[in-house]
Amino acid sequence: MNDQTQMPEDQRVQTAQIGNYYFLFLMLFLMIMIFPEFRMALGYAAGLVFNPLFYFDGRHPIYTLLGTGLILTLINTWARHHFTDWIMMAKVQQRSRALNAVMRDALRKQDMDKIEKLRKVQLKYASETMQMQAGTMKATTLTMFIAISIFTWLWMFVSTEAHYTYVAIPWAQAVELNTMVGFFPSWILLYSAFTMPLAWVIQYIFKIFEFRKKLEEMDDNSSDEAIQ
């Protein structure tokens, strides 16, 4: 009997849901890549929101990149945070490390009985891992349209609307935003240099508030139990 048939019903349902999210994500991604008209329509739709906010008459492309980067980072980070149970993730990671260590020891000793028991334990806790994967796919699918819309709008802006595309940055006196560096234009690298550390800071802040809320709820529950 294989692992799939040994799975409890809830794990089989979660596996199917994850597969559906992957399929939906793939289909949406292929549609956006294959049909440029669809991608451009998303870019124009993003412009309805971002032109009033960060267009700046095309005179400040760096501010446009930073402003849109801030908004997209907030959206992506919020979506990932909203669909991620950080406490469960910490528990799953700690348990996984412990099980892997015991499994390596059992494999080294060729203890087949212990290996079989450990595999059953891993299967038992697989649903928690699947929950985390499902949350990640939900966040990715939700934000994909937004991210591609904003990047398409930025590409149109930098390519045709910006009054100048040579900028000074901390590590270079003059960089042309449309110059290709490898597979990406310079403006994407500049955008990433700003948003990657920003995402870490925002995620850290979200986690602080989330853990503080959890601790307050635990304190309130403890107080209620003491009163009773």
Tens of pLDDT, residues 192-207: 888 889 989 998 888 8
Percent of the chain with pLDDT over 70: 80
Segment 72-78 mean pLDDT: 89
List Cα–Cα distances, 164 to 59, 90, 104, 216, in angstroms: 7, 47, 58, 51
User: What is the residue whose two structure tokens read 């591609």?
Assistant: 148
| Between 29 and 144, the higher pLDDT residue | 144
Interhelix angle 112-124/86-109, rounded to 10 degrees, is 170
Show me where the domains of the chain are located.
12-227
How far is the C-alpha of 114 from the C-alpha of 107, rounded, in Å? 9
pLDDT for the residue numbered 143: 82
The model's pTM: 0.69
Name the band, by pLDDT with cuts 50, 70 and 90, for residue 13.
low
Question: φ and ψ at 111, to 5 degrees?
Answer: -90, 90
Pairing of strands 172-176, 166-169: antiparallel
What pLDDT sits at residue 1? 43
pLDDT in tens, 142-172: 788 888 889 899 988 988 888 888 887 776 7
pLDDT of residue 2: 46
What is the per-residue pLDDT across 216-226, written as a single tens digit (0 to 9) for each? 777 666 555 55
Residue 157: CB atoms within 10 A of its CB come to 24
Q: Identify the DSSP state of 59.
A: S
Beta-carbon count within 10 A of 166 CB: 12
| The two three-digit tokens of residue 176, written as one number | 């042309």
CB atoms within 10 A of CB 28: 15
